[in-house]
Structure 1
């Protein structure tokens, strides 16, 4: 098999200063309004009748297109021409356009067209009818055909493959080592990566087959990936937290005149460029890949034996001549279906100041669809293990603030919990997901928006709960310790997307989470964009969201068939929930709420769902923590579980949601003219969990007030949720009574569950000394 030939040069990166064309390609204009032009490649080097195995047309754009661009809605249309075409004419296009080649969707399958041209049909070229921002001179044709290989590049060596939990890890020794050192910081590595294609385009092509891959059988193998150099480096692991920790631990660092000397830190700027880079580990707790090692991780669709080969490619010419065991191992890999599991990278070293006294483990998980839109992507995680984890241990899914990362446990809610910290990077997805066309040549009209990030987060939690590796606790395997699925909270504090991400995760997945702690969370993204834009406070949020989900006006759909902005409207979700769906307790803080958040709280209260909130003139605080063991100042001391009776309150502060919004007031307050809702909702409402009675014939729960003393005679409507054992019949009338702290009955009456299957008792007194609510048949 002859190595694939690349007709024309791909564009240089990062600049595009290649010659506009070379002898092998001709660019012809078309009639005005007919399209972008015709690109014709000189295929005279292909003898007539040559057997063509594969042909790919590669097109490049002058810049990436995202969902925030109008061009994102335009499908690329490219047609092969089988008759002579003259410049300025109107092309006679074929019936069907070229199709994008899956699963990468980064090139077009031109195999049939090139086969027909090689067989003798007139080569009219490719008519590019539509392709926004196309860089016509950069267009390439990649052809693999039967022939004698010539002028091939140096071959890779040391190819290896092994299978692990549904994924095959393929490694090889690269033919160049541009880094040249084991210690490199991000600023320098970024420069090296940016200069890789300036003189020539080096890639590594990974092939797979059901039988041994030899020079004779090579044409039968499938090319599954084209990998850029330096794939063994954990580029996605770069962050600002690590260099900040290094600065804090350095006796020569001096920071002054600033309450937060790291306020200007960014991944691509201050501190971020000083991040010491690491190479990936592919065996739990093993050594990093040697410098100069390439890596690709494949998630196969089917089980059985598979053979792999890796060949080098320079400027599109692959070395398919030198095939040996050095780059094509003779032994097959026995593959199983699966999704892969996280790989332990290392134990983070202890660092000063902003870190808890805990063991921190670093994991990387490689994923493929349906967790991402294209194969072999990887994400970094950290797992914080306290000195004395509970058994079973509660779990905190802690979403980092914008600009921060997985590297540090940003805070703890419980002292004995396992803290899982993911990384929403390199694409900021607002902890939800993005359009499957993002980063490909598909338009945003082709395909749907998927909750990729949510799936990844939930999958990691599920893996952790099922396996809980021995590294997490010395007794994990001996005692069969596990994580407590009834105590999994999602939290994200003020500082970008984290608060909204936690809120959406909890509301959308009540079967997983028992508690949501959201700092400055947003429940209705489209509504907030409209409201904030109206008062000129939207900032970068609209552009960030539309870049991954498409413009609000387009109303693009998710894989569920809903418009994405409806899918991410928690007010609609809550309003449409069946009454027997029990949401986690939600606490939210903010700096005054606009209409969309007000409507969300109203929906929660109308549905009898548990919610607390604090919105202050100077902000409601980074977080409103709810914890049973935490040490936060002003925290709400409460044990929340999914398998335990929980009251939902409509109490002090709630009536203010039906009042007219107002401007902030008070000493030292400068009004900005924006009217909002302020105050606290249910933040003083408490209940005891150590004396709850939930039997088939009786419910008892003690309610009390632990909020502001300015609230006189606090009362609340109480809806009993997560009833575990009490027998509820919609048609039955039940007796309830309320007893004071002395045990005296102060109120009694009848209550029915109705079709909702829920008890709501109106006007229950909740004094500081407590009252006992009792329900029985």
Structure 2
């Protein structure tokens, strides 16, 4: 027992980030101020008290009334994900005219509050969410018995996204209202199946769906104390008809649920229509549910329940004659894949994450389903949601319950990602003081084959971000996710922004069959859905975000599966990707000993002959060696990659063949190999650390392709026992970008060997790539000159451009003292 104190019995300091407070089976009595108080600091809006539980407690004033009006039972400011259930509140009232705070009050930006099955007796007022200028976002008030003696039973004041249902309210005074929702900030509220002796009313512009409630002036509660003899007669009220509902038992817990989808909200934003509805099944109402608990029951519920979405250009009174727009599984409001695929066991203790449907809004309340669609034409539409239980659809349509009463205005568009939350960890991927922005976008074609499929995205901003900032698309490996599994945060020290996402399915950051998520097609094509959505999100960042981006310096980086995808993207989209860093990737999928079968799941087996969307056989299109051979004219950025010679899963031969293709097609690259297996790291130019690209590489700047360097080691013929056990190609060479000359008649660049090079000079073939203005015609004769670092001529000659107009000067001497190569058109 806690009581007889001058202030609060329990003080929870939200301003000090006091989280996970559990108060169970306690008695609070005779305090001067609020019995349980949660405080906050308005100067620190990102700090609050999270995940609290108050259960099975008694709050009372033993003499029948409080000591003053500044008191109450539970008073929480700025609390998120709290649950208050199975408690009793007695005699929280004053003898004077002023009101106490009542039994339960959450406000000042509190979010996702659950108030369940409490009994409130002889109190001034019952449950309050929000106040005049201090809103409440999201919550459930369900199954409470409330007896108030001065004011309303449930007061929603600037409270949004709240469900109020199955409560019993007895107003034991002349006050006319049992439930109030007040001010324009009170919206998206569902008030249903409550019983009361007074009215349910809107005040000052509050908005709610009110349905299925029973208002009976003679309604009362069985109380533990006698009623006053002079109780005034309650005002007359008309009881609306109760909504007829069909009940069914839910799996093994025998909890009755409503088959009809109770409560629908539809809104449109920039090309996407969001349909929110309350699901019939709601086994995860606690904010403390883990992914382990969720996955233990998910399949059983999803087998039993699904939801059909309907659209019409006229009000929906019946689904007869309508075809479902979609049928979705249960728990669509839960972010099932935030931690990535293949991680359910490893991350079982993580708390369940629910989606946010609008920027600035709280997560969807438990039991809320969501479907997002991209309409194909501009206009007005109506939507409805029905529930399917064990294959049987409940086709009842009730306006305001499972269909919208008014149409939603729609336009055609891609839609924009929805910001879910912002995190500021002390350390993220070895980088201090970064800010992490987490987004979800419900994608559709051409970004995925399944309309309305949610994908998560992370935008990480370093403490000192460049202006404009390059963006690195970071691709995780097997078992990773958008927060880890791609090795380093590349170039964070140079102000680069990190963009990451999750894979679903595991397509190695390429694409997948168009029927992957749907019924099998006879000859499906493989489309690059994954890269489409990554580039689409990048385009959103450029056009709509708060950051100034340098799109010409976009790069990719990845590990293993991500290392495979980072190179596949770089060589197929060289106009978008300036350079790439890849650890232990697959470059020729048909030769990967262990992972060929993984590619087969998304592309079909090679023998099936499925085609990529451009008509090429998909296994040929995504063969990096074959792709380079078919497109020697493509100007690709620098590829820094590595493979383990003893990496039996990825395979060594395919890495050697890829290196050979890079040399033969004269593309910029640095390759390192060794005996580190699947942990082999790539080297960066200029002896830089692995997480830093020291050279300024842009799609708008030319760069050299070095081939046949005299300092290269020998990788061998593809047999791990052949060639040098560890080595490099082009590791010691670099170039400078500050003084590039790229003119119509002349090109110049300074190059050198690093200090760690095993010799003071080398011989190497040099092919300028990504030339901006200097262009040679096929078979054109081009002059060249080699100069020292101080401009002294060292050598000169002529070279003939090849069939694609590429100019290669062979056997050029490059030193640690640096040299400058000059190309010029013959007069």
SS in 1 for 2:357: coil
Q: Is the contact made by 2:745 and 2:824 (CA closer than 8 Å) also made in structure 1?
A: yes
Task: Provide the rounded CA distance (Å) in 1 between the counterparts of 2:741 and 2:381.
Answer: 59
- The aligned counterpart of 2:671 is 613
- The aligned counterpart of 2:207 is none
- The aligned counterpart of 1:713 is 761
The alignment yields a C-alpha RMSD, in angstroms, of 2.8
Stretch of structure 1 that moved more, 155-164 or 511-520? 155-164
Q: Is the contact made by 2:276 and 2:371 (CA closer than 8 Å) also made in structure 1?
A: yes
The partner residue of 1:436 within 514, 521, 525 is 514
Task: Provide the rounded CA distance (Å) in 2 between the counterparts of 1:433 and 1:712.
Answer: 46
Structure 1 position 775, deviation (Å): 1.9
Question: Is 1:202–2:281 an aligned residue pair?
Answer: no
Q: Is the contact made by 1:741 and 1:770 (CA closer than 8 Å) also made in structure 2?
A: yes
SS in 2 for 1:339: coil
The partner residue of 1:269 within 333, 345, 359 is 345
Structure 1 position 558, deviation (Å): 2.3
- The aligned counterpart of 2:575 is 511
Question: Is 1:234–2:335 an aligned residue pair?
Answer: yes
The partner residue of 1:282 within 334, 357, 366 is 357
Question: Is 1:452–2:509 an aligned residue pair?
Answer: no
Q: Is the contact made by 1:209 and 1:222 (CA closer than 8 Å) also made in structure 2?
A: no
Q: Is the contact made by 2:309 and 2:325 (CA closer than 8 Å) also made in structure 1?
A: yes
Q: Which has the higher contact order (CA 8 A, sep 6+)?
A: 1
Structure 1 position 320, deviation (Å): 2.8
Structure 1 pair 394/310, CA: closer, same or farther in 2 (3 Å)? Answer: same
Structure 2 residue runs without a partner (length 5+): 1-244, 249-257, 646-650
- The aligned counterpart of 2:654 is 596
Structure 1 pair 183/743, CA: closer, same or farther in 2 (3 Å)? Answer: same
Question: Is 1:773–2:821 an aligned residue pair?
Answer: yes
SS in 2 for 1:184: coil
Task: Provide the rounded CA distance (Å) in 1 between the counterparts of 2:470 and 2:285.
Answer: 45
Structure 1 residue runs without a partner (length 5+): 1-148, 241-265, 471-475, 530-537, 665-673
Question: Is 1:524–2:588 an aligned residue pair?
Answer: yes
Structure 1 pair 644/678, CA: closer, same or farther in 2 (3 Å)? Answer: same
- The aligned counterpart of 2:731 is 683
Q: Which runs of 4+ in 1 moved over 6 A?
A: 149-152, 674-677
The partner residue of 2:277 within 172, 176, 190 is 172
Structure 1 pair 497/620, CA: closer, same or farther in 2 (3 Å)? Answer: closer
Task: Provide the rounded CA distance (Å) in 1 between the counterparts of 2:710 and 2:671.
Answer: 9
Question: Is 1:334–2:334 an aligned residue pair?
Answer: no
- The aligned counterpart of 2:131 is none
Task: Provide the rounded CA distance (Å) in 2 between the counterparts of 1:726 and 1:691.
Answer: 15
SS in 2 for 1:566: helix
Structure 1 position 439, deviation (Å): 4.2
Structure with greater Cα Rg: 2
Structure 1 position 405, deviation (Å): 0.6
Structure 1 position 388, deviation (Å): 1.9
Q: Is the contact made by 1:598 and 1:677 (CA closer than 8 Å) also made in structure 2?
A: no
Q: Is the contact made by 2:779 and 2:805 (CA closer than 8 Å) also made in structure 1?
A: no
Task: Provide the rounded CA distance (Å) in 2 between the counterparts of 1:631 and 1:746.
Answer: 29
Task: Provide the rounded CA distance (Å) in 2 between the counterparts of 1:384 and 1:150.
Answer: 48
Structure 1 pair 731/174, CA: closer, same or farther in 2 (3 Å)? Answer: closer
1:244-255 equivalences under 5 Å are none
Q: Is the contact made by 1:157 and 1:173 (CA closer than 8 Å) also made in structure 2?
A: yes
Q: Is the contact made by 2:662 and 2:669 (CA closer than 8 Å) also made in structure 1?
A: yes
SS in 2 for 1:223: coil
Task: Provide the rounded CA distance (Å) in 1 between the counterparts of 2:789 and 2:326.
Answer: 70
- The aligned counterpart of 1:557 is 611
- The aligned counterpart of 1:45 is none
Task: Provide the rounded CA distance (Å) in 2 between the counterparts of 1:227 and 1:644.
Answer: 48
TM-score for the superposition, normalised by structure 1 = 0.68
Question: Is 1:396–2:472 an aligned residue pair?
Answer: yes
- The aligned counterpart of 1:213 is 316
Q: Is the contact made by 1:685 and 1:707 (CA closer than 8 Å) also made in structure 2?
A: no
Structure 1 pair 675/647, CA: closer, same or farther in 2 (3 Å)? Answer: closer
1:299-338 equivalences under 5 Å are 299-338=374-413
Task: Provide the rounded CA distance (Å) in 2 between the counterparts of 1:228 and 1:714.
Answer: 63
Structure 1 pair 765/739, CA: closer, same or farther in 2 (3 Å)? Answer: same
The partner residue of 1:488 within 548, 554, 558 is 554
Structure 1 pair 353/571, CA: closer, same or farther in 2 (3 Å)? Answer: closer
Structure 1 position 364, deviation (Å): 0.8
Structure 1 pair 677/719, CA: closer, same or farther in 2 (3 Å)? Answer: farther
Structure 1 pair 235/594, CA: closer, same or farther in 2 (3 Å)? Answer: closer
Q: Is the contact made by 2:710 and 2:763 (CA closer than 8 Å) also made in structure 1?
A: no
TM-score for the superposition, normalised by structure 2 = 0.64
